[in-house]
Amino acid sequence: MRWDGQKDGAAPQQALPGLPGVVRSVRTPEFADVVFHEVHAKSVLNKVPGSSPMPFKWTVNPYRGCSHGCTYCLAGDTPILLADGRTKPLVDVEVGDEVCGTKDGRYVRTTVLAHWRTVKLAYRVVLEDGTELVTSGDHRFLSTDGWKHVSAGRCERPRLAVGDRLVGVGGFAAGPEETPDYRNGYLWGVVRGGLTTEPEALDRAERYAEADRDRVEWPVAPRDDWTKGFLAGVFDAAGRCEDGVLRIRTDHPIVDAVVLGLKRLDFDCTVEDGVTRLRGGAAEALRFCHTTDPARSSARTITGAHLETAIGVVAIKALGEDRTLFDITTGTGDFVANGVVSHNCFARNSHTYLDLDAGHDFDSQVVVKVNAVQVLTRQLRSTRWQREHVAMGTNTDPYQRAEGRYRLMPGIIKALADSGTPFSILTKGTILARDLPLLAEAAKSVPVGVGVSLALLDRDLQHSLEPGTPSPQARLDLIRRVRDAGLPCGVFVAPVLPALTDSKEHLDALLGQIAAAGATGVTALALHLRPGTREWFAHWLLREHPDLLDGYRNLYGTGSYADKRYRTWLTARLKPLLRKHGLTPKPHRDPTGIPGDDNGRWPDGALPANIPTQRGIDRDQLTLL
């Protein structure tokens, strides 16, 4: 591909090597920094190399790269809960930091794996405790009814609404200032609490004592700063927090002072056998630690505590402007942002794992050919154009999320149809439904093929593997709507996951629903683990299904494809099920050559009917599967 034109106001280093035609660059987060480069393309029709086994000579890709993955982001000043109970602004979080995530309904320690920024339309979410979060519409929070996005978006997904209750610990309390009163109170607490041998507490006590040599009296009427310091000191000397329950064990004379101090700061507590226990679970334990700021990191964590507190949503407002937002990726896939459990996204990695991403060229850059319609129209008018089959979606999904904004496909479809050029579209994006009337009209004058990928029905598994993508039900509905529009629709059941989605029951149910939706054909493909993808998948498998690791090692070894014996077994399992649901492939049909199976065939309807096949399928190019 070649681009021309000059950059408009962009710094020279923003251009990609070999990409001088950038008009504008916009950062967008997935699993690493992703930049959307709007370019003026010189050519949109791409000729497939003669050595390629593809069954067509031409492709059109209005996008290079994939923005299908959801992008979850928050304002940079959003406080993130660290594993030690302290907080750090999201903008300052770094790879390697340990933060608080969740697993199996409890708060756990997890590591930050990635950090990036973007510019997106911002929303403000207001909670009943006064907490405010500035976020993108794609961001997901954990509610009592499951994960919900801030805005509805362009595809079917659960949406946050006023009245929903978010899971978390509530808004973070402001920390104390190190005033003379606070330092004095801390020293009293450490001494009366029984003296500590913890290095962090000793270092603070020595520093405070050096700074306030003459201020050691017990105040007659303690101020709040003194009380906060006193409670922090007592906790450092005699307190602990285990599984979200905070306790302070002291001698009787100090118990009354501790209880009085807690009540002064609006904490509720109970006392038994010299142990003062804070009521309210992890939420109140964390509020105590933030309000008083003990020095001991090991004693102030809430890891191990159950997720119990829920805070109501009172307002959701689009701010009407783009803002610089940030996101992180963690080992657990979530983190605690300003007191509520917030989802991060494995979408880019899971898209790669599902062979939905485009390979090495698309690791960190997405190119948008903003003039694609005009250039394609001009090229199709050429007297040299022979009106051969043009394929879309074999490299990147033309109905990825970016299409909702740039709306390039309607003009491309019209240009192809007006020129008498047959074409096919391979997608998993439900935005295609927007263009069904246009596609149906085009099919009256040229052959049109439509292919959709759908691998599983389990919504939880789908969310875990590819959060932010259209749900299985949404894709089934897309198949149905394609067929209702009078168009063919071939379905790729890909990838089939060994020991997870290859059971007879699952495949039977999936094929049954695909058949009921009206699909004209089905091709099933086993999981393909290319380099880079296998590392992410191994991480996911270790976290979600550690018992399957050995089986996958035996099945894949050091290669990308499942053992041939497994693929033969899968074909044998599928054959009667396809026959049962009326999806048996037509005999002797072309083309052949599917990723992971040289003899695999495209499903009926995915390519235009009655179009001569020039080549087989390039296994490296068919990346939407």
Kindly report, as residue ranges, where domains of CATH 3.20.20.70 are found in the chain.
Answer: 49-69+349-601
Kindly report, as residue ranges, where domains of CATH 2.170.16.10 are found in the chain.
Answer: 74-169+307-344
Q: What is the pLDDT of residue 24?
A: 63
Kindly report, as residue ranges, where domains of CATH 3.10.28.10 are found in the chain.
Answer: 180-299
Confidence check: pLDDT of 597 > 60: no
Closest C-alpha among 538, 522, 526, 622 to residue 575: 522
Confidence check: pLDDT of 526 > 60: yes
**For residue 199, cis peptide bond before it (omega within 30 degrees of 0):** no
Task: Write down the pTM of the prediction.
Answer: 0.51
How many CB atoms lie under 10 A from the CB of residue 575? Answer: 12
Superfamily of domain 49-69+349-601: Aldolase class I (3.20.20.70)
Q: What is the DSSP string of 592-613?
A: EEETTEEEEEPPTTSS-TT---
- Residues contacting 314, CB < 8 A, separation 6+: 126, 127, 128, 162
CA–CA separation, 606 vs 340, rounded Å?
44
Closest C-alpha among 230, 235, 197 to residue 216: 230
CA–CA separation, 393 vs 273, rounded Å?
70
Q: What is the DSSP string of 73-105?
A: -EETT-EEEBTTS-EEEGGG--TT-EEEEEETT
Q: What is the pLDDT of residue 468?
A: 55
pLDDT mean over 155-168: 84
pLDDT mean over 231-243: 93
8 Å CB contact between 175 and 290: yes
- Count of all residues that appear for the chain in the document: 625
CA–CA separation, 299 vs 297, rounded Å?
6
Q: How far is CA 578 from CA 228, 482, 566, in A?
A: 69, 21, 18
Q: What is the pLDDT of residue 522?
A: 96
Q: Which CATH number fits domain 180-299: 2.40.50.140, 3.40.190.10, 3.30.460.10, 3.10.28.10?
A: 3.10.28.10
- Residues contacting 206, CB < 8 A, separation 6+: none
Confidence check: pLDDT of 49 > 70: no
CA–CA separation, 227 vs 217, rounded Å?
13
Q: What is the DSSP string of 302-313?
A: -TT-B---EEEE
Longest dimension (CA), the chain: 98
Closest C-alpha among 615, 536, 217 to residue 350: 536
pLDDT mean over 565-571: 94
Q: CA angle, corner 606, sides to 600 and 610, nearest 5?
A: 95
Q: What is the pLDDT of residue 418?
A: 97
Confidence check: pLDDT of 405 > 60: yes
Confidence check: pLDDT of 221 > 70: yes
The CATH number of the domain covering residues in 74-169+307-344 = 2.170.16.10
* Tokens encoding 36: 């959307």
CA–CA separation, 205 vs 185, rounded Å?
11
8 Å CB contact between 571 and 507: no
- pLDDT mean across residues, the chain: 82
Confidence check: pLDDT of 70 > 50: no
Closest C-alpha among 386, 397, 445, 436 to residue 60: 397
CA–CA separation, 348 vs 467, rounded Å?
9
Confidence check: pLDDT of 312 > 70: yes
DSSP one-letter code for 561:
B
Confidence check: pLDDT of 226 > 90: yes
Confidence check: pLDDT of 396 > 80: no
